Structure 1
């Protein structure tokens, strides 16, 4: 036997509702007919039976007028109205303009426009345990009005809480940065991170009938308590990386120079002269200052 406490998801369906402009014309016709009947009766000399018939039927017009006048409601573009009857959901009317339903049916209006939310800056530990600050911008809208109204208590508060949870989850799932560019990081792989955040948000918000159209990180930085230290580390890593590239290029250039000198027989170099040339070229290519040439007037061995 199924547990009666199990949550059952609602599903949006179309509601019956009449065109409000047609009902407005009908209301005007009833007003004219009722007024004409009253004026016609007042200008005549009816008998007793006609008076009784008039009194017994005169209430029909006003009752119909009140019923029709009480059923009007307005829906703006990108707005919907959930129709209910004695606590039961009877469907959603998404047709904008002047609409009409029976007055004893409830009308709960809900916006289906796109909403833009920028989350607060959250402090999260990334994959390596470094505290970082992270925030995201999320564009969401109501796609199923029944779920938004009846499956969660407050769908807007639900969206804010789930955005915070998803941003925290993404922030702790990846490192902030990787100087060697071998990992997916929060700072360098924006498209992948944003796509994964959108997928996770849609999975979290499907319960409330919410769809996320677009999202992305708007703030990403190390927490203030480690920002200075991490900046120095990044600078040191950048210097090391630059030096590594510089040395690799210098070695390649020295190798090319020695190869061409040997192939073109420009000069015959023994091991000692080769070592001296390599040392000089490395100093020239890797030094931070311009090299100052020194003219040797004697022999290389003196």
Structure 2
């Protein structure tokens, strides 16, 4: 006999069917979005907007906003499972009354990632962390200042975060769910997976079509800071991404990498030992090989690790 606090586990096929049927019944007059179903619902909206027949500015706007909302909800749902006080901006001032009423300032997404890693022992890669921070920057720019981005870039960037969140659901959140809880979101999770497959297929097909234009330029082709695809060709003065059509002068592009270096330990901007200009970026993904490289956007070339540092630069 099950314990009083446990859901009885269906022991036959009819029991499973009844559990799924009950989980799918929704009261149209009741607003009921527990954290994980709420986050999943946001992801359904993201997929809807990014897989529209014509992805327009409004689709981009709500895809970014809802993807950030989903990220915050799902990461913090796992923190609550560890302990409800961890979602407070200052856990030392947490009270159960304020938690139950929702009357508190919650931690940032960046802090949530740190607490999941350090306290809940949840594995989140640096690559995933970087994608989440890029998303937060997009959301803040859109919410407060307006955001102008090519739809292809947004779709590719969103695909990386979606991919992380689907794996986060599978590996971190769903294992702690009952059958009824899984059944309640199964349909929506299926729609998200289908949408993610569509986004990946779009990215793969577009990169395939671009290969003839990229062939022969591997040594000066790097990952685009905007869409993340290995499709940005540098020429020393300008840097054009064939995937998302970003076309940035080097003097402005280097500012993007300076900003990245603030939250990514693998990226560093320094003086180039060849041209002496501070346009050398360490930790760049390049089409020339699988490992991050040091690439000078002034020379438009990879700088070998054995090259001497520029005067005044640490070795």
TM-score by length of 2: 0.21
Q: Which has the higher strand share?
A: 1
Higher helix share: 2
| TM-score normalised to structure 1 length | 0.21
